[in-house]
């Protein structure tokens, strides 16, 4: 399977990040002592300034206290030598940061980061008419604005925006934690290097950004509309004026290889439709149905926001791991398997229904349970089992169930609701991976049918992957254990991380932009926060 989310290589367990600029103060709990050993001749830039001048500057700024404290610590550690200027003038990396700052504001629509005083000061010093003098107060003002704005920028651009609380948005994968001061030190140590060389963002972010810019250009051209259909579906050799507009759209989005304005449903159009269907998670039949037309009719503004929402989620993700791990992308209804950090294979899954959301979180897979019992949840016992027993005294026997204390459990076997094997990564949500006797649901485009747990289309393959390095467990023994009719636990020596993610837009391994439906409404909640100013 070639298609796979590149961002799936970026999720690992780490500390949960802070919610506001100000919450970064935890990382700055202790004040850095002034390093007086740094003097002229042993310093980085060989030019210094008085700490009192910085205090006067800080007193006039609207920076959060955590930014002010970070600035004090940063310059204490440098004995108040300049970071962005040398005797000869402004450092090249200042320009690199300024360009990144302006680009970020432009494409992200994050106007809250903008600082007009900073921009005016920077433009004045970097302009060709400025007579550079290190003693000019404008130089020091620009120096300090660069540092303060860098700390604000790294927090918002690399960790996420302040108004978003991941937990409030039902995201329980621990988010990454960054150190803006360490990033700035790294930038300074790589004189002349581009800021992008040290950005703590995974490649998927840049891939989505490239498509975001492309879609902005399409929006400017105003060539998104496809008009109204004159029939319910279109297929090979049909003719319609609508097909000309659809061809134009598919050419803009890269699905159609060559531009074609004819009104005929050609073979090239059928191939383009299949490409579109694949990118949207539909069955690839090459037919332009009303379902497909309705997807095409969504405003481009909606797609732009969908990309921005998922770029924001990607900012929360930490660095990529090099371990074995599983990842489920809920809106994609797919499980992705990694072998020592490298993609191995993927398969269909069924996730929780809209009424029984699968939680977005992470855990460590510790047990494989062959021929499992299914302990009936109290809610199902009350709503289904007890009324069934009241109507039919043989209800339990007919459903291969038995009393177990005050509860009811279903016996191991092919009839079992958990199938013939389950995979446990202990968590407070009581969510796990498991087999199922209901195989037909894996053929559906949208597979949100469970009570929250994740049903696997290839459970034996998952078991084989987990036990692949245990010589005692070959394929035959796994099959035998799955059909033994007796519950058997296998403890995994090195627990395997499992990540349950939620991404509705991504770029696949073929460089294609994928979209999926917001099955749980999480995009909607983020949209209300990210784009509230547009109301």
What is the rounded average pLDDT of the residues 104-127? 92
Q: pLDDT at position 162, please?
A: 61
Q: pLDDT at position 38, please?
A: 75
Residue 511 zone, left/alpha/beta (φ > 0; ψ -120 to 50; rest): left
What mean pLDDT, rounded, does the chain reach? 89
Per-residue pLDDT band at 79 (split at 50, 70, 90): very high
Q: pLDDT at position 43, please?
A: 65
The side-by-side arrangement of strands in the sheet containing 374-375 is 374-375, 407-410, 401-404
Per-residue pLDDT band at 9 (split at 50, 70, 90): very low
Q: pLDDT at position 191, please?
A: 64
Q: What is the pTM of this model?
A: 0.85
Q: pLDDT at position 25, please?
A: 42
Q: pLDDT at position 442, please?
A: 97
Q: pLDDT at position 189, please?
A: 82
How many C-beta neighbours within 10 Å does residue 241 have? Answer: 10
Which residues make Cβ contacts (< 8 Å) with residue 146, sequence separation at least 6?
Answer: 83, 84, 94, 97, 98, 118, 122
Ranking 195-204, 430-439, 516-525 by mean pLDDT, the lowest is 195-204
The answer to whether residue 21 scores a pLDDT higher than 50 is no
The answer to whether residue 435 scores a pLDDT higher than 80 is yes
By C-alpha distance, which of 153, 114, 126 is closest to 24? 153
pLDDT in tens, 128-175: 778 889 889 999 999 999 999 999 999 888 887 765 777 878 888 777
Alpha carbon distance 323, 319 (integer Å): 12
The answer to whether residue 258 scores a pLDDT higher than 50 is yes
Residue 379 burial (10 A CB sphere; 0-12, 13-18, 19+): exposed
Alpha carbon distance 201, 294 (integer Å): 34
Alpha carbon distance 151, 61 (integer Å): 14
Domains defined for the chain, CATH in brackets: 14-197 (no CATH), 317-515 (2.40.440.10)
Q: Tokens at residue 327, please?
A: 């990842």
Q: pLDDT at position 13, please?
A: 32
Residue 506 near residue 7, CB atoms below 8 Å: yes
Q: pLDDT at position 163, please?
A: 54
């Amino acid at each position: 399977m070639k298609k796979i989310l590149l961002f799936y290589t970026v999720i690992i367990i780490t500390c949960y990040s802070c919610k506001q600029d100000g919450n970064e103060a935890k990382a700055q709990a202790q004040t850095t002592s002034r390093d007086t050993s740094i003097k002229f001749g042993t310093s980085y830039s060989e030019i210094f300034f008085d700490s009192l001048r910085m205090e006067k500057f800080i007193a006039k700024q609207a920076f959060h206290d955590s930014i002010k404290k970070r600035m004090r610590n940063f310059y204490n550690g440098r004995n108040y030598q300049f970071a962005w200027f040398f005797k000869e003038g402004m450092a090249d990396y200042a320009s690199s940061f300024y360009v990144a700052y302006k680009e970020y504001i432009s494409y992200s629509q994050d106007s809250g980061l903008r600082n007009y005083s900073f921009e005016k000061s920077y433009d004045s010093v970097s302009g060709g008419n400025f007579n550079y003098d290190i003693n000019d107060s404008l130089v020091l003002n620009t120096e300090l604005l660069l540092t303060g704005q860098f700390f604000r920028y790294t927090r918002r651009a690399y960790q996420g925006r302040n108004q978003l609380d991941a937990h409030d948005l039902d995201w329980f994968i621990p988010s990454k934690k960054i150190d803006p001061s360490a990033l700035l030190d790294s930038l300074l140590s790589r004189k002349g290097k581009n800021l992008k060389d040290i950005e703590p963002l995974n490649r998927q972010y840049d891939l989505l950004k490239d498509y975001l810019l492309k879609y902005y250009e399409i929006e400017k051209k105003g060539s998104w509309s496809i008009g109204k259909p004159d029939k319910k579906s279109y297929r090979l050799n049909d003719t319609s004026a609508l097909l000309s507009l659809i061809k134009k759209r598919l050419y803009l989005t890269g699905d159609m290889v060559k531009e074609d304005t004819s009104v005929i449903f050609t073979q090239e159009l059928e191939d383009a439709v299949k490409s579109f269907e694949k990118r949207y998670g539909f069955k690839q039949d090459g037919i332009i149905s009303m379902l497909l037309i309705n997807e095409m009719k969504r405003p481009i503004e909606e797609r732009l926001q969908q990309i921005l929402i998922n770029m924001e989620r990607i900012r929360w993700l930490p660095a990529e791991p090099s371990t074995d791990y599983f990842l489920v992308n809920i809106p994609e209804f797919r499980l992705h398997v990694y072998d020592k950090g490298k993609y191995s294979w993927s398969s269909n899954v069924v996730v929780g229904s809209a009424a029984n959301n699968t939680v977005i979180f992470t855990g460590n897979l510790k047990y494989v349970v062959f021929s499992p019992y299914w302990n009936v949840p109290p809610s199902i016992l009350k709503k289904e089992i007890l009324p069934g027993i009241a109507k039919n005294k043989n209800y339990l026997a007919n459903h291969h169930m038995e009393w177990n204390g005050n509860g009811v459990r279903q016996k191991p076997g092919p009839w079992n609701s958990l199938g013939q094997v389950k995979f446990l990564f202990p968590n407070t949500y009581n969510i796990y991976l498991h087999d199922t006797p209901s195989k037909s649901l894996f053929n559906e485009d949208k597979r949100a049918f469970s009570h929250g747990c994740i049903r696997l289309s290839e459970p034996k393959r998952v078991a084989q992957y987990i036990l692949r390095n245990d010589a005692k467990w070959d394929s035959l023994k796994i099959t035998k254990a799955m059909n033994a009719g007796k519950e058997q636990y296998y403890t995994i020596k090195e627990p395997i991380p499992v990540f349950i993610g939620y991404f509705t837009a991504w770029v696949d391994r073929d460089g294609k932009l994928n979209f999926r439906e917001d099955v749980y409404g999480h995009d909607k909640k983020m949209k209300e926060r990210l784009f509230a100013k547009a109301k």
